[in-house]
Amino acid sequence: MSPSSPLKIVVVGSVAAGTSAAAKARRNTETAQITVYERDHDISYSGCGLPYFVGGEVADIEELTPRDAAWFKARYDVDVLTGHEVIAVEPGARTVTVRELATDRTFVDTYDELVLATGVRAVVPPIPGIDAPGVFTVRTPSDATAIRSWIESTGATRALVVGAGYIGLEMTEQLVARGVQVTVVEALDHAMPRMDPDMSARVDAELRKHGVDLRLATKVVGIDADDDGVAGVEVQGTTDATGGTERVECDLVIVSVGVRPAVDLAVQAGARIGVTGAVAVDRRQRTSVERVWAVGDVAESFHVVTGEPVWVPLGSTANKTGRIAGDAMTGGPLEHRGILGTSIVRVFDLGVAQTGLTEVQAREAGYDIEVLHNIKPDRPEYLGGKPLVLKAVADRASGRLLGAQAIGASGADKRIDVLATAITYGADVADLFHLDLAYSPTYATTKDPVHYTGMALTNAIHRTAPLITPAELVRRRAEGERIQVVDVRSAKDRARSVVPDSVHIPLKELRRRAGELDPALPTVTYCNKGVTGNAGQNVLRNLGFADVANLSGGNQNYQSFEAPSA
């Protein structure tokens, strides 16, 4: 670039990250020449909204594609060329080779700065029959339009969804809303693979509550089709040693087993690929190749808690990283500060949210952790409050909050955002109690579930009120350890369900009957949700019982943990 020549920016990809990079670059400079190449015909669309178009909650696909090339040209003076695929990159010469798909014409363009916003590709497993009519992935507006058209033109009434992650569950909800009978097949033993099994068990139950045939620890081994399209799917249990299969009749298949970063151009350019399989970048989104940037789902990020490389494809991250790159290449100061993978999905009547490390991830990262299950109403029950389940994970050594998961009919979004903010700024769990959160009985309880989470975790870490999870209790008992479990609930509550092999001593009788227990044995108290169990725990500790833990989340959490997975 000569001193008098304008900066020439080429962006490959025009969804969230690419358009964010172009827009931010233009905001920083009026002189740059900015061109965006997009192989598809839709740009800057809401990929997360696609299932809701299929279900009819979004009436018109144009509501998800509100901006076109003409809008970008008028607003930002950015040239967006749809139907143009970049097929080669030559970083030495700073050129890209572009194919115009409508004419098959190819041409070469030059750049000073190249932004790779190539996104992801849907994973399509090598299943026999995967190419049959009526089998779809869900990634673009064209995909969503094709699925809705298939349902309306064929009258499809039975669908099989492969994969119980975010898109799979959103599609399931929306298909049920259309009156379609849905079977969900998931290779793991629980839905929501990014959540801990003891929390996702509630998602499993919610799916079944709404008539979904959920097949866990199951894989698809074949898809059958006739002249009208897909007719059935052969499934097999992943633990089935006999190799036997079962046929599930269906006339629509949604494949949502995940996505992979589309790194082909980055590899061709010589950019380093990170340990996650996405393009390695620095905090300004620069790749290892000079003047080549990577943003959005194709780029690797790093975790706020661990500092380690991580890849979590989310629209929020895509917008953020695109803006950072657009700023950095035009002289701005922005740098990426990492992600927590914060996310939320609606599954019928539940909001399902998470942030930071799960229990499994925290253990794998080497943390000595404290785990809390906190079941509280999202607001007072006299104003319609419903249970909100919060699971939080903290580092015993530092007291730092590491991660949280929340599931409830309402309020999960608010609490997970508060906790994500706390984790981002390195909060100790004790800090949560001191947060000055908004209170009104129409929105929250006086002591918010976030406050309770901080209180209980602080007490557990300092061993003034230790906790034990259902999983740990079951494991220790299975290993032969003698643990006396004390149910401090009323007889009426106990009649509904119990933790096996537990002694029933209601809290009001515990002081008088404590002599029936062995103070030398490890003891676990429990109630319905945890509060009365904690009161019983305090009574026994004050009476000289040295090792007393409260069952995290009480009997409700235990029953959810013990619920059959299939």
In one-letter notation, the amino acid at residue 242 is T
Helix axes 554-562, 197-209, angle to 10 degrees: 80
Burial class (CB in 10 A: 0-12, 13-18, 19+), 222: middle
SS3 category, 423 = helix
Alpha carbon 389 to chain centroid, angstroms: 16
Handedness of CA 146, 148, 150, 152 (dihedral sign): negative
In one-letter notation, the amino acid at residue 538 is N
Provide DSSP, 229-265.
EEEEEEEEETT-TT---EEEE-SEEEE-S-EEE--HH
Strands, sheet with 8-12, edge to edge from the N-terminal-most edge strand: 79-82, 33-38, 8-12, 113-116, 292-294
Distances (CA, A) of 3 to 292, 339, 355, 378: 20, 38, 47, 60
Instruction: Name the catalytic one among 6, 8, 48, 541.
Output: 48
Q: Please name which of 404, 400, 297 lies closest in space to residue 359, comparing C-alpha atoms.
A: 404
Quick count: other Cβ atoms within 10 Å of Cβ 81? 15
Q: Which residue has the tokens 């092999």?
A: 501
Side-chain half-sphere CA neighbours of 476 within 13 A: 14
Quick count: other Cβ atoms within 10 Å of Cβ 457? 27
Residues 521-535: b if buried by 16+ CB within 10 A, e if exposed = ebbbbbbbbbebbbe
Instruction: Say if CB 20 and CB 327 are below 8 A apart.
Output: no
Q: Please name which of 258, 327, 268, 259 lies closest in space to residue 295, comparing C-alpha atoms.
A: 327
Strands, sheet with 158-162, edge to edge from the N-terminal-most edge strand: 135-136, 252-255, 158-162, 181-185, 213-215
- Non-local CB neighbours of 75 within 8 Å, separated by 6+ positions: none
CA distance 65 to 264: 26
Q: Which residue has the tokens 């494991």?
A: 475
48 is an active site residue? yes
CA distance 300 to 457: 32
Q: Which residue has the tokens 């009161």?
A: 535
What residues are paired with 354 via a beta bridge? 343, 405
In one-letter notation, the amino acid at residue 420 is A
CA distance 429 to 175: 41
- Non-local CB neighbours of 294 within 8 Å, separated by 6+ positions: 115, 116, 117, 266, 271, 278, 279, 281, 285, 287
% helix / strand / coil in the chain, to the nearest 5? 30, 25, 40
| Catalytically annotated residues | 48
